[in-house]
Structure 1
Amino acid sequence: MAYLLCLFSIIFASELSFCACDVGDFTPCLQFFYRSWPSKGLSGTPVCQRYNNQYRFASLYSRPRRSPWFSAYVYGVPLGKRPAASWKYEPQLAYPEANGNMALFPPGPLDPTVVESQAVEPDYINSSYTRGHLNPCLHHQLHEDRISTFTLTNVVPQKSGSNDGPWETLEQSVNKTLAAYCVGKAYIVTGVMPYKQKEHWIKNKRVAVPEYLWSAYCCPQFNNSLPQHLRSAFPTYAAIGRNDRNSTEEIVPINKSAKKQFLGYDVRQMTLETLEMYLKQRFNTVVSVFYEKCMESK
């Protein structure tokens, strides 16, 4: 299916009702974007991720790659232990008339239409890649919000050296920073950058592997008594992480003193402007992550 450029208007709504547009339209879940303004510049299928009849976050899904370009969510200070993984899929990617709730994979043979429409659990088994959350359960408070992140429409193939190493460190660092100093809502968008020359795929050529992961947050209201080392981290901050230890060091340099299992999976933290510069170079189009770069109106 050809990509369609997603252009969305700014829509404000005090109450959101469920509709048959959970796939293909961000309108029901604009609350997960700063100023109700979905990130611009990337093409794909909008998915309003709904679990137990409530919208939890939003993803821009790539059907040809069978993985998301990005997921967008509102940060919440986590409570309790990490929930057990219960992997789900998005029925409406296979059947437009289906219930809008994400669903658990059923036991037994998989529906061929579902398999064709999106990634399924066998894609990741023995693939040498982990299921890397773009929207991590660590960044949510409510138990059901955390459970909802375990859907394959929210994950990409990620090397364990990244997922269990520098990228996890980044997620923990963002968690501590926002929990301590963000006094209003914090909006996060986390996405991927494909390989520049040729797509890479996991074992069965169904799910595309990103060369880099990226993430940015927007916290327009924050504690004015920031420590010196965090003053550049508000209202926005961003990062790019390596998902291939053999990539060049043009975007993210390698820490040669890193532990062996994490060597080559470094994360470089940067300004939002620098991130958008690299996204423009990689996608050959202007990518705007937040409305007016997360600058509050005077």
Structure 2
Amino acid sequence: MVPNGALFLLLTCFSGLVHGEVAANFSSCLEFFYRNEPPKGITGPEYRHICQLYRNAYRFATLYDSKYRTPLYSAYKLHSPDGKRPKPEWMIEPQLANSKGNKNMMYIENPDQNVKESQAVNDDYKHSGYTRGHLAPSSHQATMDDRNATFTLTNIVPQTATSNNQDWSKFEQKMSARFKNVCKDKLYVITGIIPYKSGEHKIKDRVFIPEYIWSAYCCDDNNVGQDQGKYFRTYAAVGRNDPNSGDDVVEKKKSGYDVKEMPLEELELILKKKLNMNIALFDGHCGAK
């Protein structure tokens, strides 16, 4: 049996195929996945595959659930930023609301009901007690346009402030440092969520709150080998988004928002247990085995 809270990963009711940048697969933006292969095991016509388009260029990819108004994961290639964090307006995905809408993400000051039904809007996060947590973070993107593109609400989950600004942020910084110091070529990253077993954890009775946030990376660099430590070619992590959660996934040690790093295989076993899915995040386990 699948936990009730994980049903939104399986039973989204959104009939028909949507054409354009929101589609039935990631065929337009496979470049953001190792060997052009999206994760296996998280599939089905009910999911919205978004090739995130900003200023007519693809920036990253997101698997999105419109019914529960939350991304399941975002996939991207990590780069070192060439400037400061931007402060753009929070954008939405027009084609989630209307299949004939603009292919580019955009800012809408007063979204209509069609938009609100299909995805999260900025008002959902105001006074909610949660921050807007990036799955594909701005700090892992190269150009200003790349960083601006991460400020779309289809890339955002409700994240506690301590997790977003401290514990999880430190892990993102570690990932950037490892890329600079060791992985000189491409670092593919997939960051996603684990829902609560109960489906009642929502903000504004609209947007589902994750219990955990996870991430895994794959270094596509022939010069990276086992002799360079346990963190390569691939590694993963799970972070707590609730200080009251049990210790079965990540042991509570300090803040309650602790992050546990682990081999890719351990993360996939956690996802299998929590989501009842046989998930393979990187083709061939990123050549690690």
**Do Structure 1 and Structure 2 share a fold, with TM-score over 0.5?**
yes
Q: How far apart are 1:224 and its partner, in Å?
A: 4.7
The aligned runs of 1:139-150 (5 Å cut-off) are 139-150=140-151
Q: How far apart are 1:198 and its partner, in Å?
A: 3.3
Which 4+ stretches in 1 moved above 4 angstroms? 222-226
The answer to whether the 8 Å contact 1:222/1:235 transfers is: no
| Deviations, residues 31-87 of structure 1 (Å, cap 9, x unaligned) | 000011011222421111000000000000011210100000011111111111321
Amino acid at match of 2:54: Y
The aligned residue for residue 250 of structure 2 is 252
The answer to whether the 8 Å contact 2:233/2:288 transfers is: no
Q: How far apart are 1:220 and its partner, in Å?
A: 2.7
Q: Which moved more, 1:35-44 or 1:131-140?
A: 35-44
Number of corresponding residues: 272
TM-score by length of 2: 0.90
The aligned residue for residue 266 of structure 2 is 274
The aligned residue for residue 211 of structure 1 is 211
The answer to whether the 8 Å contact 1:182/1:222 transfers is: no
Alpha-carbon distance in 2 for matches of 1:293, 1:247? 29
Structure 2: state its 5+ residue gaps.
1-7
The aligned runs of 1:65-84 (5 Å cut-off) are 65-84=68-87
- What secondary structure is seen at the aligned counterpart in 1 of 2:28? helix
The aligned residue for residue 92 of structure 1 is 95
Amino acid at match of 2:260: R
Amino acid at match of 2:215: S
Alpha-carbon distance in 2 for matches of 1:216, 1:225? 17
- What secondary structure is seen at the aligned counterpart in 2 of 1:189? strand
Alpha-carbon distance in 2 for matches of 1:86, 1:219? 32
Amino acid at match of 1:252: V
The aligned runs of 1:194-233 (5 Å cut-off) are 194-202=195-203, 204-221=204-221, 223-224=223-224, 231-233=229-231
The aligned runs of 1:35-50 (5 Å cut-off) are 35-43=35-43, 44-50=47-53
Amino acid at match of 1:22: E
The aligned residue for residue 239 of structure 2 is 241
The answer to whether the 8 Å contact 1:183/1:222 transfers is: no
Q: Percent identity?
A: 45
TM-score by length of 1: 0.87
Alpha-carbon distance in 1 for matches of 2:122, 2:249? 32
Amino acid at match of 1:251: V
Q: How far apart are 1:199 and its partner, in Å?
A: 3.9
Alpha-carbon distance in 2 for matches of 1:105, 1:121? 10
Q: Which moved more, 1:32-41 or 1:206-215?
A: 32-41
The answer to whether the 8 Å contact 1:181/1:222 transfers is: no
The aligned residue for residue 293 of structure 1 is 285
The aligned residue for residue 159 of structure 1 is 160
**Bigger relative CO (Cα 8 Å, ≥ 6 apart):** 2
The aligned runs of 1:11-50 (5 Å cut-off) are 20-24=19-23, 25-43=25-43, 44-50=47-53
